[in-house]
Amino acid sequence: MVHVVLSGGSGKRLWPLSREHFPKQFLKLYGEQSLFGLALERLKSPNAKFLVVCNEVHYFHALEEITKAHLEKHTQFLLESAGKNTMNALMLAALACDSNEILVISPTDHIMDKEAFNTALQTALDCAKNNHMVLFGIAKKPSNQYGFMRCEKAQNGVCAVLDFIEKPTPEEIAKLQQEDGDFYINSGMFVFKAGVFLEACKQHAPQMLEACKKVYLSAKKLPTILKCEDMADLEEGSVDVLLWQKCKGLKLVPLDAHWQDVGHFASLQASLPADDVGNVAHQGTLLNLHAKHNYTYSTPDKLVCLLGLENCVVVDSKDALLVATKTHLDHLKELVLCVGEKYPNLLKTYPLEYRPWGSFEVLLERPFFKVKLLEITPHKRLSLQKHQHRSEHWVVVEGVASVVVGEKSLSVPTNESVFIKQGQIHRLGNDTDQPLKILEVQCGAILDENDIERLHDDYQRP
Protein backbone atom coordinates (compact mmCIF):
# COMPACT_ATOMS: atom_id res chain seq x y z
CA MET A 1 0.00 0.00 0.00
CA VAL A 2 1.22 3.47 -0.93
CA HIS A 3 -0.30 6.63 0.48
CA VAL A 4 -0.27 9.19 -2.33
CA VAL A 5 -0.37 12.54 -0.56
CA LEU A 6 -1.57 15.27 -2.92
CA SER A 7 -0.20 18.66 -1.96
CA GLY A 8 -0.95 20.86 -4.94
CA GLY A 9 -2.87 24.09 -5.29
CA SER A 10 -2.18 27.56 -3.97
CA GLY A 11 -5.14 27.96 -1.61
CA LYS A 12 -6.46 31.19 -3.12
CA ARG A 13 -9.67 30.93 -1.10
CA LEU A 14 -7.58 31.41 2.05
CA TRP A 15 -5.67 34.46 0.83
CA PRO A 16 -3.99 36.48 2.36
CA LEU A 17 -2.97 33.68 4.73
CA SER A 18 -2.17 31.29 1.91
CA ARG A 19 0.34 32.24 -0.81
CA GLU A 20 1.71 30.47 -3.88
CA HIS A 21 5.07 29.80 -2.20
CA PHE A 22 3.49 28.94 1.17
CA PRO A 23 0.04 27.45 0.51
CA LYS A 24 -2.64 26.56 3.04
CA GLN A 25 -1.61 22.94 3.61
CA PHE A 26 1.64 24.10 5.28
CA LEU A 27 0.14 26.87 7.41
CA LYS A 28 0.16 26.16 11.15
CA LEU A 29 -3.61 26.54 11.45
CA TYR A 30 -4.06 24.25 14.45
CA GLY A 31 -1.50 25.25 17.06
CA GLU A 32 1.79 23.83 15.80
CA GLN A 33 0.03 21.49 13.38
CA SER A 34 -0.56 22.08 9.69
CA LEU A 35 -3.16 20.37 7.51
CA PHE A 36 -0.30 18.46 5.85
CA GLY A 37 0.96 17.28 9.25
CA LEU A 38 -2.53 16.24 10.35
CA ALA A 39 -2.90 14.19 7.15
CA LEU A 40 0.37 12.38 7.84
CA GLU A 41 -0.69 11.58 11.42
CA ARG A 42 -3.97 10.19 10.11
CA LEU A 43 -2.28 8.00 7.49
CA LYS A 44 0.69 6.65 9.46
CA SER A 45 0.81 2.90 9.92
CA PRO A 46 3.68 0.44 10.49
CA ASN A 47 4.12 -0.82 6.90
CA ALA A 48 2.75 2.07 4.86
CA LYS A 49 4.82 3.78 2.19
CA PHE A 50 4.29 7.40 1.14
CA LEU A 51 4.50 9.20 -2.19
CA VAL A 52 4.18 12.97 -1.78
CA VAL A 53 3.09 14.77 -4.96
CA CYS A 54 3.81 18.49 -4.80
CA ASN A 55 5.15 21.42 -6.77
CA GLU A 56 8.93 21.57 -6.76
CA VAL A 57 8.88 24.98 -5.02
CA HIS A 58 7.10 23.35 -2.04
CA TYR A 59 9.57 20.47 -1.66
CA PHE A 60 11.31 21.76 1.46
CA HIS A 61 7.99 22.56 3.15
CA ALA A 62 6.84 18.99 2.50
CA LEU A 63 10.20 17.54 3.55
CA GLU A 64 10.01 19.44 6.85
CA GLU A 65 6.59 17.91 7.57
CA ILE A 66 7.76 14.42 6.58
CA THR A 67 10.83 14.79 8.83
CA LYS A 68 8.68 16.03 11.72
CA ALA A 69 6.50 12.91 11.34
CA HIS A 70 9.62 10.65 11.22
CA LEU A 71 8.64 9.24 7.83
CA GLU A 72 11.80 10.05 5.83
CA LYS A 73 12.70 6.38 5.36
CA HIS A 74 9.24 5.56 4.02
CA THR A 75 8.71 8.49 1.64
CA GLN A 76 9.35 9.30 -2.00
CA PHE A 77 8.64 12.69 -3.58
CA LEU A 78 7.14 13.33 -6.99
CA LEU A 79 7.93 16.96 -7.81
CA GLU A 80 5.84 18.71 -10.45
CA SER A 81 7.36 21.55 -12.47
CA ALA A 82 3.84 22.94 -13.05
CA GLY A 83 0.50 22.34 -11.38
CA LYS A 84 -1.86 20.60 -13.83
CA ASN A 85 -4.66 19.46 -11.52
CA THR A 86 -5.44 16.00 -10.17
CA MET A 87 -5.69 13.91 -13.35
CA ASN A 88 -2.06 14.44 -14.32
CA ALA A 89 -0.86 14.15 -10.72
CA LEU A 90 -2.58 10.78 -10.28
CA MET A 91 -1.42 9.40 -13.62
CA LEU A 92 2.19 10.30 -12.81
CA ALA A 93 1.84 8.78 -9.33
CA ALA A 94 0.39 5.55 -10.77
CA LEU A 95 3.16 5.35 -13.38
CA ALA A 96 5.72 5.66 -10.58
CA CYS A 97 4.33 2.61 -8.75
CA ASP A 98 4.06 -1.12 -9.44
CA SER A 99 0.84 -1.89 -11.30
CA ASN A 100 -0.40 -4.19 -8.48
CA GLU A 101 0.32 -1.65 -5.76
CA ILE A 102 -2.78 -0.30 -4.02
CA LEU A 103 -2.73 3.49 -3.90
CA VAL A 104 -4.58 5.47 -1.23
CA ILE A 105 -5.11 8.99 -2.57
CA SER A 106 -5.33 11.67 0.11
CA PRO A 107 -5.47 15.45 -0.32
CA THR A 108 -4.00 17.58 2.45
CA ASP A 109 -6.81 20.08 3.03
CA HIS A 110 -9.18 17.87 5.03
CA ILE A 111 -9.68 17.10 8.70
CA MET A 112 -11.55 14.09 10.06
CA ASP A 113 -11.68 11.47 12.80
CA LYS A 114 -8.68 9.16 12.44
CA GLU A 115 -10.26 5.97 13.79
CA ALA A 116 -13.39 6.28 11.65
CA PHE A 117 -11.26 6.95 8.57
CA ASN A 118 -9.09 3.89 9.17
CA THR A 119 -12.17 1.69 9.59
CA ALA A 120 -13.53 2.92 6.23
CA LEU A 121 -10.08 2.58 4.67
CA GLN A 122 -9.88 -1.12 5.55
CA THR A 123 -13.20 -1.70 3.76
CA ALA A 124 -11.94 0.24 0.72
CA LEU A 125 -8.67 -1.73 0.64
CA ASP A 126 -10.53 -5.04 0.63
CA CYS A 127 -12.64 -3.76 -2.27
CA ALA A 128 -9.61 -2.47 -4.22
CA LYS A 129 -7.91 -5.87 -3.94
CA ASN A 130 -10.68 -7.13 -6.22
CA ASN A 131 -9.72 -4.58 -8.89
CA HIS A 132 -12.38 -2.01 -8.03
CA MET A 133 -11.74 1.74 -7.95
CA VAL A 134 -13.18 3.10 -4.70
CA LEU A 135 -14.30 6.59 -3.72
CA PHE A 136 -15.07 7.78 -0.20
CA GLY A 137 -18.46 9.50 0.06
CA ILE A 138 -19.84 11.89 2.64
CA ALA A 139 -23.54 11.78 3.44
CA LYS A 140 -24.05 15.53 3.26
CA LYS A 141 -26.36 18.06 1.64
CA PRO A 142 -25.47 18.38 -2.08
CA SER A 143 -23.47 21.40 -3.11
CA ASN A 144 -22.11 22.93 -6.30
CA GLN A 145 -18.69 22.90 -4.57
CA TYR A 146 -18.30 19.10 -4.67
CA GLY A 147 -18.97 16.10 -6.85
CA PHE A 148 -22.41 14.55 -6.19
CA MET A 149 -23.04 10.80 -6.34
CA ARG A 150 -26.15 8.65 -6.46
CA CYS A 151 -25.52 5.13 -5.22
CA GLU A 152 -27.23 1.82 -4.57
CA LYS A 153 -27.87 0.77 -1.00
CA ALA A 154 -24.68 -0.23 0.80
CA GLN A 155 -23.86 -3.91 1.17
CA ASN A 156 -21.09 -4.84 3.62
CA GLY A 157 -20.11 -1.18 3.80
CA VAL A 158 -19.75 -0.72 0.01
CA CYS A 159 -22.08 0.99 -2.50
CA ALA A 160 -22.19 0.77 -6.29
CA VAL A 161 -22.03 4.25 -7.85
CA LEU A 162 -24.90 4.89 -10.27
CA ASP A 163 -24.22 8.53 -11.19
CA PHE A 164 -21.38 10.99 -10.61
CA ILE A 165 -21.76 14.67 -11.47
CA GLU A 166 -18.93 17.08 -10.71
CA LYS A 167 -20.18 20.29 -9.06
CA PRO A 168 -23.79 19.89 -10.22
CA THR A 169 -26.20 22.72 -10.93
CA PRO A 170 -29.35 23.03 -8.77
CA GLU A 171 -31.33 21.57 -11.68
CA GLU A 172 -29.04 18.53 -11.90
CA ILE A 173 -29.25 18.01 -8.14
CA ALA A 174 -33.05 18.16 -8.20
CA LYS A 175 -33.24 15.69 -11.09
CA LEU A 176 -30.95 13.17 -9.38
CA GLN A 177 -32.83 13.39 -6.09
CA GLN A 178 -36.07 12.42 -7.85
CA GLU A 179 -34.53 9.02 -8.56
CA ASP A 180 -34.00 6.16 -6.12
CA GLY A 181 -30.73 5.74 -4.29
CA ASP A 182 -28.51 7.08 -1.53
CA PHE A 183 -26.69 10.36 -2.07
CA TYR A 184 -23.16 11.43 -1.16
CA ILE A 185 -20.67 14.17 -1.94
CA ASN A 186 -17.17 13.33 -3.12
CA SER A 187 -14.50 13.56 -0.40
CA GLY A 188 -11.60 13.70 -2.90
CA MET A 189 -10.07 10.51 -1.44
CA PHE A 190 -9.75 7.35 -3.54
CA VAL A 191 -8.33 3.82 -3.37
CA PHE A 192 -7.32 1.68 -6.36
CA LYS A 193 -4.58 -0.45 -7.84
CA ALA A 194 -2.17 1.58 -9.96
CA GLY A 195 -2.65 -0.66 -12.98
CA VAL A 196 -6.46 -0.62 -12.76
CA PHE A 197 -6.44 3.17 -12.67
CA LEU A 198 -4.09 3.43 -15.66
CA GLU A 199 -6.31 1.06 -17.68
CA ALA A 200 -9.26 3.38 -17.02
CA CYS A 201 -7.14 6.36 -18.08
CA LYS A 202 -6.18 4.52 -21.26
CA GLN A 203 -9.86 4.10 -22.07
CA HIS A 204 -11.15 7.57 -21.15
CA ALA A 205 -8.13 9.89 -21.48
CA PRO A 206 -5.60 8.15 -23.76
CA GLN A 207 -3.87 11.31 -25.04
CA MET A 208 -3.35 12.66 -21.52
CA LEU A 209 -1.94 9.33 -20.44
CA GLU A 210 0.54 9.22 -23.33
CA ALA A 211 1.66 12.77 -22.54
CA CYS A 212 2.19 11.82 -18.89
CA LYS A 213 4.17 8.74 -19.89
CA LYS A 214 6.59 10.98 -21.83
CA VAL A 215 6.98 13.26 -18.80
CA TYR A 216 7.54 10.25 -16.53
CA LEU A 217 10.13 8.64 -18.81
CA SER A 218 12.11 11.89 -19.08
CA ALA A 219 11.88 12.67 -15.35
CA LYS A 220 15.04 12.95 -13.25
CA LYS A 221 15.09 9.92 -10.96
CA LEU A 222 17.01 10.50 -7.72
CA PRO A 223 17.11 8.15 -4.69
CA THR A 224 14.03 9.71 -3.02
CA ILE A 225 12.87 12.18 -5.68
CA LEU A 226 11.17 11.84 -9.05
CA LYS A 227 11.49 15.29 -10.63
CA CYS A 228 8.96 15.68 -13.44
CA GLU A 229 9.93 18.44 -15.84
CA ASP A 230 8.44 19.68 -19.12
CA MET A 231 4.90 19.71 -17.69
CA ALA A 232 3.92 23.13 -19.01
CA ASP A 233 2.25 21.73 -22.14
CA LEU A 234 0.21 19.03 -20.38
CA GLU A 235 -3.55 19.36 -20.71
CA GLU A 236 -5.02 20.46 -17.39
CA GLY A 237 -7.97 18.66 -15.85
CA SER A 238 -9.45 17.06 -12.74
CA VAL A 239 -9.88 13.33 -12.24
CA ASP A 240 -13.51 13.98 -11.26
CA VAL A 241 -14.43 15.43 -14.66
CA LEU A 242 -12.16 13.37 -16.88
CA LEU A 243 -12.58 9.97 -15.26
CA TRP A 244 -15.13 9.53 -12.46
CA GLN A 245 -17.95 11.09 -14.52
CA LYS A 246 -17.22 8.63 -17.33
CA CYS A 247 -16.32 5.40 -15.51
CA LYS A 248 -18.78 2.59 -14.94
CA GLY A 249 -18.50 0.18 -12.04
CA LEU A 250 -17.12 2.62 -9.46
CA LYS A 251 -17.54 1.68 -5.81
CA LEU A 252 -18.10 3.97 -2.85
CA VAL A 253 -17.41 3.54 0.86
CA PRO A 254 -19.49 5.85 3.08
CA LEU A 255 -17.23 7.85 5.40
CA ASP A 256 -18.77 8.92 8.71
CA ALA A 257 -15.73 10.62 10.23
CA HIS A 258 -16.79 14.26 10.85
CA TRP A 259 -15.05 15.09 7.56
CA GLN A 260 -14.42 18.76 6.79
CA ASP A 261 -12.86 20.30 3.70
CA VAL A 262 -10.86 23.27 4.99
CA GLY A 263 -10.92 25.10 1.69
CA HIS A 264 -12.20 28.56 2.63
CA PHE A 265 -12.65 30.81 5.65
CA ALA A 266 -16.16 29.62 6.50
CA SER A 267 -15.01 25.99 6.74
CA LEU A 268 -11.85 27.03 8.60
CA GLN A 269 -14.00 28.88 11.13
CA ALA A 270 -16.24 25.82 11.52
CA SER A 271 -13.20 23.70 12.41
CA LEU A 272 -12.14 25.97 15.31
CA PRO A 273 -13.67 26.66 18.75
CA ALA A 274 -15.95 29.70 18.93
CA ASP A 275 -17.05 31.97 21.78
CA ASP A 276 -20.62 32.06 23.11
CA VAL A 277 -21.82 34.26 20.21
CA GLY A 278 -20.04 32.33 17.46
CA ASN A 279 -16.93 34.48 17.01
CA VAL A 280 -13.59 32.78 16.29
CA ALA A 281 -10.33 34.59 17.06
CA HIS A 282 -7.76 32.43 15.29
CA GLN A 283 -4.82 34.48 16.49
CA GLY A 284 -4.57 37.72 18.43
CA THR A 285 -6.96 38.92 21.12
CA LEU A 286 -10.57 39.67 20.26
CA LEU A 287 -12.92 42.14 21.94
CA ASN A 288 -16.42 42.41 20.55
CA LEU A 289 -19.58 44.39 21.19
CA HIS A 290 -22.82 43.53 19.38
CA ALA A 291 -20.73 41.34 17.03
CA LYS A 292 -21.33 37.66 16.32
CA HIS A 293 -20.49 34.78 13.98
CA ASN A 294 -17.26 36.40 12.77
CA TYR A 295 -13.83 34.96 11.97
CA THR A 296 -10.72 37.03 12.77
CA TYR A 297 -7.03 36.40 12.25
CA SER A 298 -4.21 38.73 13.23
CA THR A 299 -0.67 38.71 14.56
CA PRO A 300 -0.51 37.21 18.06
CA ASP A 301 0.33 40.56 19.71
CA LYS A 302 -2.53 42.55 18.15
CA LEU A 303 -5.89 43.44 19.70
CA VAL A 304 -8.84 43.11 17.30
CA CYS A 305 -12.04 45.00 18.20
CA LEU A 306 -15.34 44.28 16.47
CA LEU A 307 -18.36 46.55 16.84
CA GLY A 308 -21.72 45.62 15.35
CA LEU A 309 -20.21 43.24 12.81
CA GLU A 310 -21.95 39.97 11.88
CA ASN A 311 -20.99 37.05 9.65
CA CYS A 312 -17.75 38.64 8.48
CA VAL A 313 -14.16 37.58 7.92
CA VAL A 314 -11.32 39.87 9.04
CA VAL A 315 -7.80 38.68 8.20
CA ASP A 316 -4.96 41.01 9.13
CA SER A 317 -1.65 39.66 7.86
CA LYS A 318 1.60 41.60 7.93
CA ASP A 319 1.26 42.89 4.38
CA ALA A 320 -2.45 42.69 3.53
CA LEU A 321 -5.83 43.17 5.20
CA LEU A 322 -8.98 41.34 4.08
CA VAL A 323 -12.44 42.33 5.31
CA ALA A 324 -15.29 40.36 3.72
CA THR A 325 -18.83 39.26 4.39
CA LYS A 326 -19.26 35.49 4.36
CA THR A 327 -21.90 35.82 1.66
CA HIS A 328 -19.19 37.09 -0.71
CA LEU A 329 -16.50 34.49 0.01
CA ASP A 330 -17.30 32.65 -3.23
CA HIS A 331 -15.98 35.75 -5.04
CA LEU A 332 -12.64 35.79 -3.22
CA LYS A 333 -10.88 34.19 -6.20
CA GLU A 334 -12.02 37.12 -8.35
CA LEU A 335 -10.58 39.57 -5.83
CA VAL A 336 -7.33 37.59 -5.75
CA LEU A 337 -7.07 37.90 -9.52
CA CYS A 338 -7.32 41.68 -9.15
CA VAL A 339 -4.62 41.63 -6.47
CA GLY A 340 -2.41 39.56 -8.77
CA GLU A 341 -2.71 42.10 -11.56
CA LYS A 342 -1.69 45.07 -9.40
CA TYR A 343 0.40 43.51 -6.60
CA PRO A 344 1.67 40.12 -7.85
CA ASN A 345 4.15 39.64 -5.01
CA LEU A 346 1.28 39.59 -2.51
CA LEU A 347 0.10 36.33 -4.08
CA LYS A 348 3.48 34.63 -4.16
CA THR A 349 5.31 35.40 -0.97
CA TYR A 350 4.71 36.38 2.65
CA PRO A 351 6.92 38.44 4.99
CA LEU A 352 7.58 35.20 6.90
CA GLU A 353 9.26 32.69 4.57
CA TYR A 354 10.51 29.20 5.33
CA ARG A 355 13.75 27.71 4.11
CA PRO A 356 15.31 24.26 4.61
CA TRP A 357 17.54 25.79 7.31
CA GLY A 358 14.74 27.62 9.18
CA SER A 359 12.90 30.84 8.34
CA PHE A 360 13.21 34.59 7.92
CA GLU A 361 10.75 37.41 8.45
CA VAL A 362 11.00 40.85 6.85
CA LEU A 363 10.47 43.33 9.69
CA LEU A 364 11.09 46.55 7.76
CA GLU A 365 11.91 47.43 4.17
CA ARG A 366 12.83 50.81 2.73
CA PRO A 367 14.92 51.99 -0.23
CA PHE A 368 18.56 51.02 0.36
CA PHE A 369 17.97 49.00 3.57
CA LYS A 370 16.01 45.99 4.83
CA VAL A 371 15.70 44.43 8.29
CA LYS A 372 15.07 40.71 8.76
CA LEU A 373 14.76 38.28 11.67
CA LEU A 374 16.41 34.96 10.82
CA GLU A 375 15.73 31.76 12.78
CA ILE A 376 18.18 28.92 12.12
CA THR A 377 17.18 25.41 13.13
CA PRO A 378 19.66 23.52 15.38
CA HIS A 379 22.43 21.82 13.36
CA LYS A 380 21.43 23.57 10.11
CA ARG A 381 23.28 26.19 8.08
CA LEU A 382 22.75 28.51 5.16
CA SER A 383 24.69 28.17 1.93
CA LEU A 384 28.25 29.45 1.51
CA GLN A 385 27.48 32.59 -0.49
CA LYS A 386 28.23 36.14 -1.47
CA HIS A 387 26.27 39.19 -2.65
CA GLN A 388 27.19 41.60 -5.43
CA HIS A 389 24.93 44.48 -4.40
CA ARG A 390 24.62 44.56 -0.60
CA SER A 391 26.43 44.36 2.70
CA GLU A 392 24.95 42.73 5.82
CA HIS A 393 25.11 43.34 9.56
CA TRP A 394 24.26 40.35 11.76
CA VAL A 395 23.34 40.78 15.43
CA VAL A 396 22.83 37.59 17.46
CA VAL A 397 19.73 38.08 19.60
CA GLU A 398 19.38 34.47 20.82
CA GLY A 399 21.75 31.51 20.78
CA VAL A 400 25.30 31.14 19.44
CA ALA A 401 26.06 31.58 15.74
CA SER A 402 28.72 29.73 13.76
CA VAL A 403 29.95 32.21 11.16
CA VAL A 404 32.33 32.00 8.21
CA VAL A 405 33.59 35.37 6.92
CA GLY A 406 36.25 35.16 4.24
CA GLU A 407 38.96 32.91 5.64
CA LYS A 408 37.80 33.22 9.27
CA SER A 409 35.50 30.92 11.28
CA LEU A 410 33.84 32.60 14.25
CA SER A 411 31.62 31.66 17.18
CA VAL A 412 29.36 34.63 17.87
CA PRO A 413 27.33 34.63 21.13
CA THR A 414 24.17 36.56 22.01
CA ASN A 415 24.45 40.37 21.89
CA GLU A 416 27.50 40.37 19.60
CA SER A 417 27.58 41.22 15.89
CA VAL A 418 29.34 40.56 12.58
CA PHE A 419 29.70 42.77 9.50
CA ILE A 420 29.72 41.19 6.02
CA LYS A 421 31.14 43.41 3.30
CA GLN A 422 29.64 43.57 -0.18
CA GLY A 423 31.09 40.70 -2.25
CA GLN A 424 32.60 38.93 0.77
CA ILE A 425 32.18 35.14 1.02
CA HIS A 426 30.23 34.15 4.14
CA ARG A 427 28.13 31.51 5.82
CA LEU A 428 25.83 31.38 8.84
CA GLY A 429 25.00 28.24 10.82
CA ASN A 430 23.73 26.84 14.10
CA ASP A 431 25.94 24.09 15.51
CA THR A 432 24.08 23.92 18.83
CA ASP A 433 20.98 22.12 20.11
CA GLN A 434 19.29 25.47 20.83
CA PRO A 435 17.43 27.91 18.55
CA LEU A 436 19.43 30.68 16.89
CA LYS A 437 17.92 34.08 16.07
CA ILE A 438 19.74 36.71 14.05
CA LEU A 439 18.74 40.30 13.36
CA GLU A 440 20.01 41.04 9.85
CA VAL A 441 20.30 44.54 8.40
CA GLN A 442 20.94 44.66 4.65
CA CYS A 443 22.28 47.82 3.01
CA GLY A 444 22.65 48.37 -0.72
CA ALA A 445 21.10 49.48 -3.98
CA ILE A 446 19.56 46.04 -4.68
CA LEU A 447 18.04 44.09 -1.79
CA ASP A 448 16.71 41.04 -3.55
CA GLU A 449 16.76 37.29 -2.85
CA ASN A 450 18.12 36.87 -6.38
CA ASP A 451 21.32 38.62 -5.27
CA ILE A 452 22.66 35.37 -3.79
CA GLU A 453 25.55 33.54 -5.42
CA ARG A 454 25.70 30.13 -3.76
CA LEU A 455 29.18 28.57 -3.71
CA HIS A 456 28.19 25.50 -1.67
CA ASP A 457 24.77 24.42 -0.45
CA ASP A 458 23.73 21.50 1.76
CA TYR A 459 20.33 21.44 0.03
CA GLN A 460 21.58 21.55 -3.59
CA ARG A 461 19.63 24.67 -4.52
CA PRO A 462 20.68 26.61 -7.64
Handedness of CA 190, 195, 200, 205 (dihedral sign): positive
Distance CA 143, CA 370 (A): 47
How many angstroms separate the most distant Cα atoms in the chain?
79
Q: Please state whether beta strands 384-386 and 380-381 pair in parallel, antiparallel, or not at all (unpaired).
A: unpaired
CA 144 vs CA 10, 98, 270, 329, 343: distances in Å: 21, 36, 19, 14, 30
For the domain covering 2-261, report its CATH number.
Answer: 3.90.550.10
Domain ranges of the chain: 2-261, 270-342, 352-456
**DSSP E strands, 133-259:** 134-138, 148-151, 159-165, 182-193, 220-221, 225-228, 251-254
Distance CA 191, CA 129 (A): 10
| Tens of pLDDT, residue by residue, the chain (462 residues) | 999 999 987 778 999 999 988 899 999 899 889 999 999 999 998 888 999 999 998 998 899 899 889 999 999 999 999 989 999 999 999 999 999 999 999 999 999 999 999 999 999 999 999 999 999 999 888 777 889 999 999 899 999 999 999 988 888 888 888 888 889 999 999 999 999 999 999 999 999 999 999 999 999 999 899 999 989 999 999 999 999 999 999 999 999 999 999 989 999 999 999 999 999 999 889 999 999 999 999 988 899 999 999 999 999 998 899 999 999 998 999 999 999 999 998 998 887 888 889 989 999 989 999 999 999 999 999 999 999 999 999 999 999 999 999 999 999 999 999 999 999 999 999 999 999 999 999 999 999 888 999 999 998 776
Burial (CB count within 10 angstroms: exposed 0-12, middle 13-18, buried 19+), residue 190: buried
**At the fourth CATH level, which superfamily is domain 352-456?**
Jelly Rolls (2.60.120.10)
Inter-residue contact 47 to 71 (CB < 8 Å): no
Give the residue among 327, 318, 410 at the shortest CA–CA distance from 361.
318
Note the pTM of the prediction, 2 decimals. Answer: 0.86
150-160 burial, b if ≥16 CB within 10 A, otherwise e?
Answer: bbeeeeeebbb
DSSP three-state, residue 389: coil
Handedness of CA 282, 342, 79, 213 (dihedral sign): positive
